[in-house]
Amino acid sequence: RKEVEQDPGPFNVPEGATVAFNCTYSNSASQSFFWYRQDCRKEPKLLMSVYSSGNEDGRFTAQLNRASQYISLLIRDSKLSDSATYLCVATEAAGNKLTFGGGTRVLVKP
Amino acid sequence: DAGITQSPRHKVTETGTPVTLRCHQTENHRYMYWYRQDPGHGLRLIHYSYGVKDTDKGEVSDGYSVSRSKTEDFLLTLESATSSQTSVYFCAIRRDRGYTGELFFGEGSRLTVL
């Protein structure tokens, strides 16, 4: 079983709609969590951190559920430019190793 | 711009030949990483370094070695390339200050082993 698992998608989303997807992690000792965004044939870039209390950055909301060992990302009012692959990341306690999920592909269509 | 450059950006080689990928940073951060990315597997950590001559293995280190003789350079070597090592390789740095989970990636090196 992979340490960090994601539904690969694609999630086909009408422009302006809301989309949400989850990521599960198997290591209960995982300390910190993040969402990265990766455009086609480009390098990944940090989108946002995920805090236990939940956090929001503009149209993006991230949640962490430690009891069920998953994190989620919600995108409101989807834009065409939100089309990308979203990677979830878990770090071990020391924070030196970051484990990436396989990514969830989102396609926003007019 | 985190000042990371990878070379070569593209390489085609034959099975059994040695290959070295170079990652160069301009900001002198301690932590540097090598990941490979393959369809269906996402990004997988090969090796990472936490200082000059200080390295550790990741989850897919077999068949790879690394060296860090200078802060700014982190080399990934495939001693005898195999077709299973065909992949996109990303180098990343972690800034000494800032989020623990924030990595800055290079543009990637696409390696094809025939």
Is B90 within 8 Å of B105 (Cβ atoms)? yes
Distance (Å) from the alpha carbon of A47 to chain B's nearest alpha carbon: 9
- Per-residue confidence band for A97, with pLDDT thresholds at 50, 70 and 90: confident
Using a pLDDT cut of 70, give the percent of chain A over it: 99
Is A34 within 8 Å of B101 (Cβ atoms)? yes
**Which DSSP helix (H) or strand (E) runs through B113?**
strand B109-113
Q: Is the pLDDT reported for residue A98 higher than 90?
A: no
What does the pLDDT look like over B15-42, one tens digit per residue? Answer: 999 999 999 999 889 999 999 999 878 8
Of the given ranges (A98-102, B6-10, B73-77), which has the lowest mean pLDDT? A98-102
B42 vs A: CB within 8 A: yes
Half-sphere exposure of B101 (CA within 13 A, CB side): 23
Interacting residues of B62 by C-beta distance below 8 A, sequence separation 6+: none
Is A20 within 8 Å of A11 (Cβ atoms)? no
| Nearest-angstrom CA–CA distance, A101 and B56 | 21
Closest by Cβ to A43, choosing from B50, B102, B108: B108
- Most B CBs within 10 A among A47, A98, A99, A104, hence the mutation to make, goes to A98
| Nearest-angstrom CA–CA distance, A64 and A76 | 18
- Per-residue confidence band for B99, with pLDDT thresholds at 50, 70 and 90: low
For chain B, what is the mean pLDDT?
A: 93
Is B94 within 8 Å of A34 (Cβ atoms)? no
In chain B, what residues touch A49 (CB-CB under 8 Å)? 99, 101
Residue type, B29: H
A86 vs B: CB within 8 A: no
- Residues A79-108 have a mean pLDDT of 91
User: Which residue would you say has higher pLDDT here, A45 or B40?
Assistant: A45
A45 vs B: CB within 8 A: yes
Half-sphere exposure of B73 (CA within 13 A, CB side): 9
Distance (Å) from the alpha carbon of B94 to chain A's nearest alpha carbon: 9
For chain A, what is the mean pLDDT?
A: 93
A32 vs B: CB within 8 A: yes
- Residues A35-58 have a mean pLDDT of 92
| Nearest-angstrom CA–CA distance, B111 and B114 | 10
Pairing status of strand B109-113 against strand A84-91: unpaired
Identify the bridge partners of residue B105 per DSSP, sorted by sequence position. Answer: B92
